[in-house]
Homo-oligomer: A and B are copies of this chain.
């Protein structure tokens, strides 16, 4: 007779997995996968040969010989890249290597967020972040965006309203450069305005730059943290998930020591995977900029294929603004389309999409929106998958009425 686990489980668990994983859908437009053609495989092999021969024996110690903030050459590499690519002077002592940027976001949450706390966030934002915040039982207030990112008039008004109720948010979370999912970029002027508002209301800013390397439509603006010039108003995180590969699981937090010292005791994972830190430091030091330039050319070409497919298959039914970089297209369909239902119908036929309701603070606002990640599928898969999605959408909701100039 088998033990009955159900009586042992906590009573607040998420639903269990239905069955073991059985492979990717044929047309996979969800999440944050990147382009397999651009993983720098040979560069990583060469890096492994050099760095493991030189320092492989240090794997015998937790944290190598670099302490809990992570492999020192990688922290230096992050600091130098931030200085070189964004003009943000950074020291290795301000950098904490994490297992992806979500890990950095979680550690900051562990340090700051208690149940009942309030924080401000872009109305459209990363779905996984929202579900984690919900678990923390915090009050998430969404601030609307326009084509230049988070709207400063709305932010100022929201902070004023909260102050009138005696509520001071723990921080303002923003993805200012290639926002996820909207692809917008906040201008230098707006960043300065954001800083001014945050200072006036005495609120911390959490700047998430995890997509910032994938910007091709304009020059990269200075980070908000660099504009603060050591004022301690901004903590920052970034990632190699999009610029090199997500399965590496390497991100980083950048903060003053005065903040960092409180975060370190919360990182109880025995260190972030050291082999990957070593390979990445060894590879990225000399190759990162050229790699990203090449990667972005490839992404830009795939975006063009995706845009052409959506315009051809959905016609005027699909509204979107061209993203300035990144890996996703954020689309508004006619009001009669419920994208959560569309996603279910599409999944049954091998097309995976992120319904808008999962990527916004207010599910109603996301109801007819969807997010399509174009980085991983081949150009053929993009064309075929979008055609299939349009066909399913027409069948379920009656739109689009015309596809590829053919009446349905």
Q: Does A154 contact B (CB under 8 A)?
A: no
- A213: min CB distance to chain B, Å: 15
With A8-B170, A44-B56 in contact, do A246 and B270 touch (Cβ < 8 Å)? yes
Q: Which residues of B contact A287 (CB under 8 A)?
A: none
Q: Mark A42-71, 1 if CB is under 8 A from B, else 0.
A: 101100110011001111111111111100
Binds B, one of A26-34, A184-192, A364-372: A26-34
Bound-state Cα–Cα, A256 to B33, Å: 30
Asked if B266 contacts A5 (CB within 8 A), the reply is: no
Number of interface residues of A (CB under 8 A): 98
Q: Quick one: which of B53, B99, B132 contacts A41, CB cutoff 8 A?
A: B53
Asked if B44 contacts A52 (CB within 8 A), the reply is: yes
Asked if A61 contacts B24 (CB within 8 A), the reply is: yes
Q: Does A274 contact B (CB under 8 A)?
A: yes
Q: Mark A236-266, 1 if CB is under 8 A from B, else 0.
A: 0000010001111100000011111110111
Interface majority SS on A: helix, strand, loop or mixed? loop
Q: Does A355 contact B (CB under 8 A)?
A: no
Q: Does A15 contact B (CB under 8 A)?
A: yes
Asked if A262 contacts B48 (CB within 8 A), the reply is: no
Q: Does A231 contact B (CB under 8 A)?
A: yes
Bound-state Cα–Cα, A61 to B23, Å: 12
Asked if B270 contacts A273 (CB within 8 A), the reply is: no
Binds B, one of A109-117, A302-310, A339-347, A398-406: A109-117
Asked if B273 contacts A5 (CB within 8 A), the reply is: no
Q: Which residues of A pack against B, CB within 8 Å?
A: 1-3, 5, 8-11, 13-18, 20-24, 31-39, 41-42, 44-45, 48-49, 52-53, 56-69, 93, 99-100, 102-103, 110-114, 128, 132, 170-171, 202, 204, 230-233, 241, 245-249, 256-262, 264-266, 268-276, 279, 375-376
